[in-house]
Structure 1
Amino acid sequence: MSSFARPSAVFAMDPVHLPLLFPAPLMARLRETVRIDPELVVQDFTGAASTLSDAEILITGWGCPHLGADTLAAMPRLRTVLHAAGSVRSLIGEPLWSRGVTVCTAVTGNAVPVAEYTLGMILLAGKDALARRDSFRRAHAYPVLADTAATGNLGRRIGIIGASRVGRHLLELLRSFDFEILLHDPYVDAAEAAGLGAELLPIEDLLRRSDIVSLHAPDIPETRHMLDRARLALVPDGAVVINTARGALIDHAALIDELVSGRLRAVLDVTDPEPLPADSPLYTLPNVFLTPHIAGSLGNELERLGRIVVDDLERITAGLAPAHELRHRDLAHVA
């Protein structure tokens, strides 16, 4: 393909991510497909009109500013946005959808490490490994056998809230284990849930029956504080709440009260707010395992996102439909 036939593309993201998203072999494939300057990475659309005026394709990532009406006016030729990250909610508004721009996202690639992280935490929580590590450090002694009667992963009831991309990948991973899988998702029926290896339940019933509850719903107005004080009270004593989705899905004041009482345990990779204030008890409570939003793609996992973008880019320039297009109508129930 000649350079004149290749469409023009521009990177728009925090440049620190670029080498990990597109290592040399991927960057070479990308540059064979589009005309793009790897040294030019837009972080601020203000005053970048001359840079963007010829762009037909925008390759975005974490750190890309919002694509508002003024920005779009500076990109009259823009026809495709390829997002080398997860959610596009904060990135794309109505003006872009109204223009009919094709939007693709690597969110399916980002779902993989989140599901893997969650699986690891489910297995560790079932063995009570997180708490026992600390007690072992203090006591330098093995647990008394009688104290381990409630420990183990055989037949553990796992409640999954949200058959999102992460939720579905996690459900697939969970098939290999002797778990009882429960699912709540208003967009899934019983037959589809059965096909995913789960029993579909109303959220209240799921919470009552689960030993471990894992959140994988999108952050939309309908899901804000979906685990409020009343619903958290339904979760059995000693159960574990895992959140790798968005902090706003849980009423943190109510959760902290449950954790301070010692009734529940939690694994939190996301919080509300992020980061937490320095005096938050979530940093120090012994029944909380807190990580700094690391479940999503990090380090060499970013290359998976870059592969998705390049694969879709090659499909688009060959006249084929992209494999990871996001439809405007889907935003009502996806991340």
Structure 2
Amino acid sequence: MIVTVLVPDEYGVSALGAVDGVRAVRYDSLDDLPPEAAEAEVLVPGFLSPGQADVLDALPKLRLVQLLTAGAEAWIGRLPDHVMLSTCSGAHGGSTAEWAVTALLAVFRRIREFEDDRRAESWDSRRTETLQAKRVLVVGAGDLGRQLHRRLVAFDAEVTMVATKARDGVRGLDELPALLPEHDVVVLMVPMTPATRGLVDADFLARMPDRAVLVNAARGPVVDTDALVAELRSGRLRAALDVTDPEPLPPGHPLWSAPNLLLTPHVAGNCTGVQQRAYRIVAEQIARFAAGREPEFLVRGDY
């Protein structure tokens, strides 16, 4: 029996071509699916594509939505019970961790200020901070958090991991209020769920020590934007954001001009090799499905 899989690009067609029992068919958009959609059992949405429940009418045999991303919030709650949802866990952790380390190094070593000096032809050899011995609180202990932990330790930072529930080597989310004042950096690497939406509010930020750095590599709505802007404008906190709320930022938004902020446009995982890494995971998950087994990274409930 052949399983028909709809993929959004030619790379997906090629990547799934070697998977036994699978026929990969490309589509141009979810609004214009090919005739093979009538037989498709698996849909692979494009990177960061919004969840479209109305597409289900054109996919009567759909049994699995396999994502190219680790985040699944766009599709959670939009699928009927008989359709499974699987993430691309393991594909983007290394790249996202690399971005977080890059952001912290840029902030602590004042790379942007030195670049401004270069443009102004100003030789100002001032002292900077270092990532060494910084106390870093990583909120999220999945693949992204684990990848970041490994890299931070290599820079001699002191790392504390936090997850929903405490376990060996990981603190519980309920311990955050006590942990925040003890750390120089907080890095967010949590999935977007009802429990994490607005997690970083004014009270959360107020508990961070003066000149601490908030790094958001999760999703924009995890942070209360207005509360963060207030802290940045006061000069008390610093931040590095790869995601924002709203996203993309509209013209004139306060984050464009906020001081003490390093901002990138959701590019932590968008780097060379991203398709290869993502489709390697996707091919493994779809191979399991075609063989009659459940994918490893199924979303159950909110995650």
Q: TM-score, normalised by structure 1?
A: 0.79
Give the counterpart of 2:45 among 54, 60, 75. 60
Q: Separation in 2 of the partners of 1:171 and 1:244?
A: 14
Give the counterpart of 1:163 among 137, 141, 160. 141
Task: Give the structure with the higher percent helix.
Answer: 1
Give the counterpart of 2:18 among 20, 26, 29. 29
SS of the equivalent of 2:280 reads helix
SS of the equivalent of 2:267 reads coil
Q: Separation in 1 of the partners of 2:74 and 2:63?
A: 19
The answer (yes or no) to whether the contact 1:8–1:56 under 8 Å persists in 2 is yes
The answer (yes or no) to whether the contact 2:13–2:24 under 8 Å persists in 1 is no
Structure number with greater Rg is 1
Shift of 1:311: 2.1
* Pairing 1:111–2:79 present: no
Alignment correspondent of 2:217? 244
The answer (yes or no) to whether the contact 1:184–1:201 under 8 Å persists in 2 is no
Give the counterpart of 2:73 among 86, 89, 105. 89
Alignment correspondent of 1:325? 297
218-227 vs 264-273, greater mean Cα deviation: 218-227
Q: Separation in 2 of the partners of 1:60 and 1:240?
A: 34
Give the counterpart of 2:30 among 43, 51, 71. 43
Q: Separation in 2 of the partners of 1:175 and 1:325?
A: 27
Distance 1:128 1:54, change over 3 A: same
* Pairing 1:188–2:166 present: yes
Shift of 1:135: 4.4
Pairwise mapping of residues 266-285 of structure 1 onto structure 2 (< 5 A)?
266-285=239-258
Q: Separation in 2 of the partners of 1:274 and 1:163?
A: 25
Shift of 1:270: 0.9
Alignment correspondent of 1:9? 5
Gaps of 5+ in 2: none
Alignment correspondent of 1:143? 125
SS of the equivalent of 1:37 reads strand
* Pairing 1:213–2:201 present: no
The answer (yes or no) to whether the contact 1:113–1:295 under 8 Å persists in 2 is yes
Q: How many residues align?
A: 303
Q: Separation in 2 of the partners of 1:154 and 1:72?
A: 51
Distance 1:282 1:139, change over 3 A: farther
Q: Separation in 2 of the partners of 1:275 and 1:230?
A: 26
The answer (yes or no) to whether the contact 2:214–2:239 under 8 Å persists in 1 is yes
Alignment correspondent of 1:77? 61
Pairwise mapping of residues 191-206 of structure 1 onto structure 2 (< 5 A)?
191-193=168-170, 202-206=175-179
Q: Separation in 2 of the partners of 1:104 and 1:73?
A: 20
* Pairing 1:173–2:151 present: yes
Q: Provide runs of 4+ in structure 1 moved above 6 Å.
A: 198-201
The Cα RMSD (Å) is 2.9
The answer (yes or no) to whether the contact 2:65–2:85 under 8 Å persists in 1 is yes
Alignment correspondent of 2:279? 306
Q: Name the amino acid aligned to 2:23.
A: R
Q: Name the amino acid aligned to 2:148.
A: L
Shift of 1:64: 5.0
Shift of 1:216: 1.4
Q: Separation in 1 of the partners of 2:78 and 2:257?
A: 42
Q: Separation in 2 of the partners of 1:65 and 1:224?
A: 18
SS of the equivalent of 1:188 reads coil
Shift of 1:171: 1.5
Q: Name the amino acid aligned to 1:166.
A: L
Alignment correspondent of 1:120? 102
Of all paired residues, the percent bearing the same amino acid is 32
Shift of 1:319: 4.2
Q: Deviations over 1:87-130 (max 9, x none)?
A: 2222243643x21x343221321233112111222233332334
Distance 1:256 1:92, change over 3 A: closer
Q: Separation in 1 of the partners of 2:216 and 2:25?
A: 39
